[in-house]
Structure 1
Amino acid sequence: MQAERMWEASTGEGVTVAVIDSGVDGSVPELQGKLLPGTEFSTDQHGENYDSLGHGTSMAMIIAGRRSGTSAWGLAPGSKILPIRSAGGSWYMAKSIRYAADHGAKVINVSEGGPLTEASKADLLPAIEYANAKGSLIFAATGNSGDKGNAKNYPASLPGAIGVGAVDKSLKVANFSTFGPEVALAAPGVGIPTRCTKELLECVAQGTSQATAIASASAALIWSAHPTWTNNQVLRVMMQTAGKPEDGKVPSKYIGYGIVRPRKVLLDKEGDPGPADVNPLLAARETPAPSRTPRSGDNGDDKKATNPAPKADGFPTWPIIAGGGVAALAVILGGLLIARRKKAQLSTHSR
């Protein structure tokens, strides 16, 4: 993603990203000075800065973490995080989305979800429509069940949310990435440096959660550079400049309109923002996609990647938390995502 080059044009400064998740622990060094006063919508009332899972903290770090020693740091380090601890179901999530929109969040990151039902639709659709009308973008993880049932999750499967799938470093769709018409964009979601939950060890995680955080950070970078654009215009250029499937046909049920590439907007000056008041994703979904013939080797399009991928980590679903193992590994990602300065150390950690 050529992050260090992008930071010469934009770091996400001036953009607030709401992280609706398990809470955000503001005590970690990388998030010092990055958190705005937030809130929580849950039954246990621990506060927005309590995070027993470490999941929300990791998402915040991927988005806005600042350099602290040799640790991983975020893709949009100039942005601010609005922490919203949401635990308990679609009703709490709906309240969280409305709160984020009312408190200045241009970007709303939802790296969690739950089973899509009529009740969850009734809770969330009005909240999503409200946030879009207020000018926010909602990026939501599609889920990690692509290789085991491919269950549909809220809010990613609902109109107005931007469902995000995961790709690996070869730009193939990750085997775990939940797929279908809800996928609007994809982002790197395998081998993402972050922090582990309790010992705060540097480690690597994978999942559509991490991909969603990268998509949210990408939007923050673009919006910071173009502060007069609306949410529809930021989304439109993200869709236009995304890396397309090998056959060029979109949308793909695995990577949607492509893999996010904010550098194409920031460095190459590509993308036409177009009309301010037309949601490009909703408009595109109203137009039937052309038929296509499946072929082997597509970049996550008609034929799913056959290369093995790690099991996904950390996609909280409410009321049940689903998690997996995390290999603790500090890595150098080169130009992929997050700058690293020190050589990697290998350790292990599991939740």
Structure 2
Amino acid sequence: MLISFPKLKRSLSILLYVFLFSLLFPQLTLTPLIAGDDGQSGIYRISASESSVKRQARIFSDESLKSQPEYVSWGPARIASGRVNQKLGITGSGVRVGIIDTGIDGNHPDFKGKILKWRDFFDNPSALPVDNNGHGTHVAGIIAGGPRCGVAPGASLIVARVFDPPRRTTAAMIISALQWMADPDGNPETPDQPHIVNCSWGNDVNDDDTLKESISALAARGILVVAEVSDRGGAGCGSPANFGEVLAVGALTRNDRLSYWTSWGVSPFTYRRKPDMAAPGENIFSCWNNGGYTMKDGPSTSAALVSGVAALTLSASILKNGKPLQLQPLREILLSSADKLTDPYVGEKAGKGIADSWESVLRAGDMATLKVNVTAPARWADCETPITVSIPELELREPAGSTFQLKPAEWNIRASSFGWVSTTVNTDVEEADSSLDLVLEPAPLGELNFQSEGFPGQSPEWVEIFFEPSGAAEARGVWNLRNFPQSLQAPAGIWNIRISCQGYFPIVFKQIAVEKGSSLSIATSFRALPALLWVDDDRLTPCSDAVAESLSRLGMEHHVYEYVPNNGGPSARFMAQFDTVIWTLGNRLGNVFTQADLEEIEKYIAQGGNFMASGQDLAWYLGKDALFRKIFQTGLKHDDGLVRTVEGIDSGPLADLRFEIDATEKWQIQFSPDSVYPLPMANSAITLLKYSSSGNFVPGDAAIGVEADASRVILLAFGLEGISDPLNRAQLIRSSLKWLGGDRRSALKKYFRLMNSSVDPAVRELLLSRIVQDSTPGDLLSLLNFLRKNNLYEKGQPLVEAIMKIAISGGSDYEKVVEEASR
């Protein structure tokens, strides 16, 4: 059997580790290696996903975080634990969670008063909680840390240290820790055992039953065991995740995709699929040694998040019934309340779905249901007036007709809709299911008169006017119009008004007071948008500054769209206002396109837009995604090309470029820029940049270009911010934009945009004739070729006749156009 170089290097590393382990810990005997593909499968280890190894963790002190509120973990937010803590007051109090790991930083402020019991299973054990690695502290922080990172900050911890600093252990030590967890004080009469035991570790042997008896004993005592799946990606979940008694957890990315390293498969013990469920597993922020904090990745973090959700669920049942749920009902609630993932690529590889603490807590607490119906018909045909129902105490906001799960109590229910008077009623929600019917009264109206000087360029194809209450988050209205209005009716109140017109900068008016029966004049002046849009999707100033400096150096007028995760990226409709879009993704692990982003990008390109993306790890994360491959026609060759010198392809559009990816600023460093290649069946994909060869190692390509009928696309497999030389960075941007749009076929692009617009057919015919009049002979040839290629060409149709008319009167330069149009 052939052994690849990376596997050989990995195997040699393991042999060296075993040798050093035997020297350092002669009193211990390693579990014999069980033959496996990687030669190390029998050793129980803490997962070290590739991304965790290749990036040095940035450590934050408690003080440094006070000025950086963005470092609040997205993991707990995705599973809604903060909402459970703050809105329902459930924090995991009364629940004990066991952690078998590298230990815990007993002096960390997040764990003050939370560590009930501690035991060190090494020789010369520490009497006080310690962690010589940091992994156990990170896991504990996810489960029960402070409000920045802890899912169940009110839970108590029982911690066993069995992993050495290199994060390895033996089966014998784990068995001892599992047996200790069943009765920490050795007295069967005292109920001191944990309700949950977290195992953020495992091995890669699917049928290894070494730990099964010990874990079955915990399950027999009603203890839920949560474990990570193997981190080798596919090919089974390993031990102990494959045991039927274990709740096995896989890892997901920020955009609900399966993490590159997470595993799945059928358990040889139960013949059922594993993992059982999933949770976020990338860029998870939590506690670290010496009172610090950091971000880590891997299924270890996912298992810890689910253990936290289980703690919240048990805490809810204690509040409801005075005692925790039994093991089987707890498992059923966790699995049945999971947020089912519909992405076919993820499918059953994520088990029942992603953990949902809000839903599981509501089910465990046996909440009552209240359905709220609201009557408030739309008052204007061109205005979106959604009806919303909110519960202010919980900050819940849902569409009318929604069903709320609530504690039996009195609640204030508020209904609102644009153009109607909001109403709040107090209702007593009992344990039985109930409903509430509300009727809204029409709001008094005033009139807004818009005084416009007109548009400096082409009239917009669409106009949106947003009304948002000043200081409130309800009763919003959106007018969708084809022409800019002279006047509009608006409900009485104080409004923030934003006017967006296709092709023009939006105008914002704040604190506009509309009074009943009044008429208010508002002066408007519009400025055309530039041809270039920059989507700033890194949310870290150093990365943004690098790109901003280059665009400023080049004197390129552009519009900036700042990506906000909860609001998502720009829509295809918004991007269609620009000829070219540059989308930069920063250096944070997992900062990649979401599926919704890719869908909008695909629509934009289909309308003739030019697009360039920049960011390391894009292909590593999304290289198997069908839509990503369709747009960029790119595959992943290496996660890291190892070489940092990049040069253009001879005779290519970027042939003159040669530069280093050598930034040293903390958030600009390119730890692992992707090495990519154009997909074999992608005839329109070409290599634009390559990494310079080093000896016999051929690292692959650094940038791929795609040329379609009316658009061009570039994927940079590294971050622009990684080029420290500002001249080289600016030259790359300038040359890329020149290829994207410098010789673009404008007639075809305009045709795409027009055919995808919503203008009236008569107006479309007029605009098509204008496109032809303004086009060069090359533009018209491209347009004719496209029509023939897609079976859209028909002699006598107005567009072809207009092309023929212009070509015949255009002289010798248009001879080829006449010939093409006539055949």
Question: Does TM, scored on the shorter chain, surpass 0.5?
Answer: yes
Secondary structure, aligned partner of 1:222:
helix
Secondary structure, aligned partner of 1:154:
coil
State whether residues 66 and 74 of structure 1, in contact with CA within 8 Å, keep that contact through their aligned partners in structure 2. yes
Q: Partner residue of 1:65?
A: 145
Specify the code of the residue in structure 2 equivalent to 1:246.
T
Residues 248, 346 of structure 1: alpha-carbon distance in 2 compared, 3 angstrom cutoff = closer
State whether residues 241 and 270 of structure 1, in contact with CA within 8 Å, keep that contact through their aligned partners in structure 2. no
Secondary structure, aligned partner of 1:109:
strand
Residues 270, 170 of structure 1: alpha-carbon distance in 2 compared, 3 angstrom cutoff = farther
Question: Is 1:109 matched with 2:205?
Answer: no
Residues 26, 127 of structure 1: alpha-carbon distance in 2 compared, 3 angstrom cutoff = same
Report matched runs for 1:329-340 at 5 Å.
none
Q: Partner residue of 1:333?
A: none
Report matched runs for 1:65-84 at 5 Å.
65-67=145-147, 72-84=148-160
Q: Partner residue of 2:180?
A: 99
The counterpart of 1:168, out of the listed 253, 268, 288, is 253
Shift of 1:253: 4.3
- How many angstroms apart in 1 are the aligned matches of 2:127 and 2:102? 10
Q: Partner residue of 1:303?
A: none
Determine which structure has greater relative contact order: mean sequence separation of CA pairs < 8 Å that are 6+ residues apart, divided by chain length.
1
Q: Partner residue of 2:82?
A: 4
Shift of 1:108: 0.4
The counterpart of 2:116, out of the listed 33, 36, 48, is 36
The counterpart of 2:129, out of the listed 49, 52, 70, is 49
State whether residues 176 and 309 of structure 1, in contact with CA within 8 Å, keep that contact through their aligned partners in structure 2. no
Specify the code of the residue in structure 1 equivalent to 2:230.
G
- How many angstroms apart in 2 are the aligned matches of 1:115 and 1:262? 29
More strand by share: 2
- How many angstroms apart in 1 are the aligned matches of 2:327 and 2:262? 26
- How many angstroms apart in 2 are the aligned matches of 1:41 and 1:132? 22
State whether residues 86 and 92 of structure 1, in contact with CA within 8 Å, keep that contact through their aligned partners in structure 2. yes
Secondary structure, aligned partner of 2:354:
coil
Q: Partner residue of 1:159?
A: 244
Q: Partner residue of 1:202?
A: 293
State whether residues 149 and 287 of structure 2, in contact with CA within 8 Å, keep that contact through their aligned partners in structure 1. no
Question: Is 1:237 matched with 2:333?
Answer: yes
- How many angstroms apart in 1 are the aligned matches of 2:237 and 2:128? 27
Question: Is 1:258 matched with 2:353?
Answer: yes
Specify the code of the residue in structure 2 equivalent to 1:99.
W
- How many angstroms apart in 2 are the aligned matches of 1:47 and 1:153? 33
Secondary structure, aligned partner of 2:133:
coil
Deviations, residues 114-149 of structure 1 (Å, cap 9, x unaligned): 24376x51x311111100010100000112211xx7
State whether residues 274 and 349 of structure 2, in contact with CA within 8 Å, keep that contact through their aligned partners in structure 1. no
- How many angstroms apart in 1 are the aligned matches of 2:133 and 2:354? 28
Shift of 1:225: 0.6
Shift of 1:230: 0.4
Shift of 1:150: 4.2
State whether residues 250 and 275 of structure 2, in contact with CA within 8 Å, keep that contact through their aligned partners in structure 1. yes
- How many angstroms apart in 2 are the aligned matches of 1:39 and 1:224? 25
- How many angstroms apart in 2 are the aligned matches of 1:241 and 1:270? 13
- How many angstroms apart in 2 are the aligned matches of 1:95 and 1:191? 32
* Structure number, greater radius of gyration: 2
Question: Is 1:125 matched with 2:212?
Answer: yes
- Which range is displaced more, 55-64 or 87-96? 87-96
Question: Is 1:225 matched with 2:316?
Answer: yes
- How many angstroms apart in 1 are the aligned matches of 2:360 and 2:118? 31
Secondary structure, aligned partner of 1:36:
strand
In structure 2, stretches of 5+ residues that fail to align are 1-78, 164-168, 185-192, 266-272, 368-594, 596-617, 623-665, 672-823
Deviations, residues 147-181 of structure 1 (Å, cap 9, x unaligned): xx746432112221111101112111111112223
Shift of 1:66: 2.1
State whether residues 113 and 153 of structure 1, in contact with CA within 8 Å, keep that contact through their aligned partners in structure 2. yes
Specify the code of the residue in structure 2 equivalent to 1:154.
S
Shift of 1:223: 0.4
Return the TM-score normalized by structure 1: 0.70
Specify the code of the residue in structure 2 equivalent to 1:22.
T
- How many angstroms apart in 2 are the aligned matches of 1:29 and 1:237? 32
Shift of 1:20: 0.5
Question: Is 1:177 matched with 2:262?
Answer: yes
Secondary structure, aligned partner of 1:92:
helix
Q: Partner residue of 2:756?
A: none
Residues 93, 182 of structure 1: alpha-carbon distance in 2 compared, 3 angstrom cutoff = farther
Q: Partner residue of 1:85?
A: 161
Residues 231, 43 of structure 1: alpha-carbon distance in 2 compared, 3 angstrom cutoff = same
Deviations, residues 229-253 of structure 1 (Å, cap 9, x unaligned): 101111101111111231799x954
- How many angstroms apart in 1 are the aligned matches of 2:97 and 2:212? 20
- How many angstroms apart in 2 are the aligned matches of 1:54 and 1:33? 19
Q: Partner residue of 1:139?
A: 226
For the aligned residue pairs, the C-alpha RMSD in angstroms reads 3.1
The alignment-based identity, stated in percent, is 26
Secondary structure, aligned partner of 1:153:
coil
- How many angstroms apart in 2 are the aligned matches of 1:170 and 1:309? 11
State whether residues 62 and 74 of structure 1, in contact with CA within 8 Å, keep that contact through their aligned partners in structure 2. yes
Shift of 1:36: 1.1
State whether residues 62 and 214 of structure 1, in contact with CA within 8 Å, keep that contact through their aligned partners in structure 2. yes
Deviations, residues 30-87 of structure 1 (Å, cap 9, x unaligned): 11111112213235634572211100011111110124xxxx3301000011111123
